[in-house]
Amino acid sequence: MASLAAFRSEFEPGPELEVLPSQCGAQALLAALVREGVDTVFGIPGGANLPIYQHLPDFPIRHILVRHEQGAAHMADGYARASGRVGVCLATSGPGALNLITGLATAHFDSVPVVAITGQVAAPTIGTDAFQESDVIGSCLSVTKHSYQVQHADDLEEIVAEAFHVARTGRPGAVLIDIPKDVQQALVGLKRPLGRHRVHRAPTEPPDRQIAAAAAHLGAARRPVILAGRGVAIAGAEEVLRRLAETVDAPVGTTLLGTGVFPSPHPLGLGLVGFMGTGYCNLAVSECDCLVMVGMRADDRVTCRLDGFAPRAEHIIHINIDPAELGKTVDADCQIVGDAREVLERLCVAVRPQARPEWRRQVDGWRERHPLRHPRNGRLQPQEVLSAYYSRRRRGDITVADVGLNQMWAAMSWTGGEPGIFLNSGGQGTMGFALPAAVGAQAANPDRRVFAVCGEGGLVMTLQELATAVEAQLPVKVLILDNRQLGMVRQFQDDFYGGVRSQVDHLVTPDFSMLARAFGCFGAVVERHDEVGPALDAAIAHPGPAVVDFRIDPEAGIFPIVPLGGALSEFVECPYP
C-alpha cells in the first residue's frame, strides 16, 4: 500500500496556505468526511469514540443509530451498492470494532467501497490489555483493502482522503481507520493548501495487441459466450456490454453478483451461470468455443469442477481490473487488465458485426428443453410469491436478497431490465445481510422503494435493525420466504449427505407479523395463494417499514443444481412437474 508520502505526491498544492482554527482530532476527522461528500454514517457510540460523537452534531452529517455494529457495516455496504458512493460506519473499540468484521468481509469480497472508523483505547495503553482493547488492525487484515491506525491528529485529514481514494478506486473494497481516543481529543492546528486537488493519472491501458487478439478470437469463434460479473456494474459498463453482445451475436450469462448487468428479458440473456445456474447457460458455457469473462472472479460457485468448465473453449478471454484474479482459477490464454467499460468499448470498435444463427438456434433449443420449473403441488411456492412481487416492481425499485434458497430463488426469478437494483452478498454469502443492507440502500435513496427478500433463518440474525428502520423513518419492505428451516442446508443434506437432516428445522419460530408490530412496523402472514397479492399491496401502501411472512412449501428447493464435484453440464433439474 502506498505511503502517505507517496499519496501526497499525487496532489498539486494551491498557491497559498489557509490556516484553520485549532480543533481537536475528532473535529478534523468529521471535517474531512464532509470534504469527501459524506452525508450519512451508520454507527453506535461507545467509550473509545465519544469524542467523535461529541462533535458530530456540529457537522452536516446524518447519523443513523444502529442496534448492532454488524448492522452498521451492512448498512454502509447497502448504501454504497445502491448509490455508487463510499459507505461509512462507526464503532467503538474492542467488541464494537470486532463486530464490524463480518460486514467488512461481506463488502470487501464483493468489491464494495466502505470506510469503517473505529475508536481505539488511548495510545499509551495500547498493548496493555486495556478495557475494550482489541487488535482491530490485525483482526481485519484479510477483510480490508488497507488499514490505518492514526498516530497523530495532524495526519487525519490526509489519512481520510487517502482511505476514501483507496476504497473507491481500482477494485473497490473496505478500508479501516482506527483512531486512539487521545488522538481524537488532541488539539491540532491544521494547515493545508488552498484549492489542492488530486492529479488524475490515467490507468495503464491494455496494449493494442491484447485488444486485437481478443477481437480476433471473437471474430473466429462459431460459438462465443460472454460471462459478466459485478465489475461490469462497478465500471458502469452495462450498455457497452449489451452493445458488444449484439455486435458479435454472443449469448450473455451472469454471475450471482452480476445479476442485472445484462437485461433479463433480452433474447441473448442466459441468466445465472454455475452451481445453481440455468441449465441453458451452463450448457452454453460447456459447448462454447470462445469464452469472454468480464468483471468476475471465476470462483468455485461459477466454475464447479474446473476441468468441466468451458472444456471446448479454444480461447478464454478474461478481463478484470485486478490482475490478481487473472489466472487464479481459470487459465485464460488472453488476460486483459483494465476497467471493464474501457476494455469493452475498445473491443466494440475492434470487432466486426457478425450473426451466428446456428449458435443462436442451438442455445434457444436448450432454453426450450431446460426451462426453469418448480413444483405445483397446491402449496405456496417461492416462485409464485416472487412473481407477484416482481409484477408490482416499478422502475428503479431496489431489491436486496439475503443468503440461501431465498437468494437463489430471487436471482433466478429476476425480471429487471435495469442495472444496479438487485443487491446481494455473493462472495461471503452472509446470512442476515438483506435487512440492514436494505436500510442502507433506503437511506441512500429516500425517494425509491426498497425491498428485502429474506429467509426466516437469515432475518432473525439481524432482526433488531427493524428498530433502526422505524426510528430513522426508512420504509423498507421485508418479504420473508419462510420455510421454517435452514432450507439450503436441508437441500444439501438431502442431495449430497445421505439424506440425513441434522439441525436444520426451526422448531421455534416467532410470529413475525406480531414481532413486526412490536417494532412499530406493518406485519402480515400469508399462507394461501389468494392472499399473496393483497398482502403485498397492503405492505407497499403502508408508509413505514413492513414485514410480510410468506409461509412457503417447506420442501421447496432450488433447481437446476450441479452435484458437488460435478461439471457445469451435469446439472440436475426439478424432479417434479
Active site residues: 69, 131-132, 181, 488
Q: How many CA atoms lie within 13 A of 326 on its CB side?
A: 17
Establish whether the linkage from the previous residue to 206 is cis, with ω within 30° of 0. no
Beta strands in 121-267 (DSSP E): 146-149, 174-180, 187-188, 191-193, 197-198, 224-228, 252-254
Give the DSSP H/E element, type plus range, for residue 119.
strand 114-120
Which residue is listed with cell 450471482? 256
Buried b (16+ CB within 10 A) or exposed e, 407-416: bbbbbbbbeb
Reference 63, options 377, 387, 527, 468; nearest CA is 468
Instruction: Look at strands 197-198 and 11-12 and give their pairing.
Output: antiparallel
Sign of the alpha-carbon dihedral angle for 88, 94, 95, 99: positive
Q: What Cα–Cα distance (Å) separates residue 570 from each residue in 274, 399, 566?
A: 11, 31, 6
CA-based diameter of the chain, in Å? 76
Contact (Cβ atoms closer than 8 angstroms) between residue 294 and residue 194: no
Nearest alpha-carbon partner for 69 in 116, 134, 139: 116
Sign of the C-alpha dihedral, residues 112, 115, 121, 126? Answer: positive
Report the SS3 class of residue 576. coil
Render 328-375 in DSSP notation, one character per residue. Answer: SSS--SEEEES-HHHHHHHHHHHS-----HHHHHHHHHHHHHS-----
End-to-end CA distance of the chain: 55
Residue among 283, 301, 306, 302 nearest 293 (CA): 302
Closest alpha carbon to 295 in 313, 317, 315: 317
C-alpha distances (whole Å) from 204 to each of 146, 298, 351 are: 22, 23, 22
The set of cell numbers assigned to 392 is: 408490482
- 311 half-sphere exposure, CB direction, 13 A CA radius: 11
Q: What is the DSSP letter of 197?
A: E
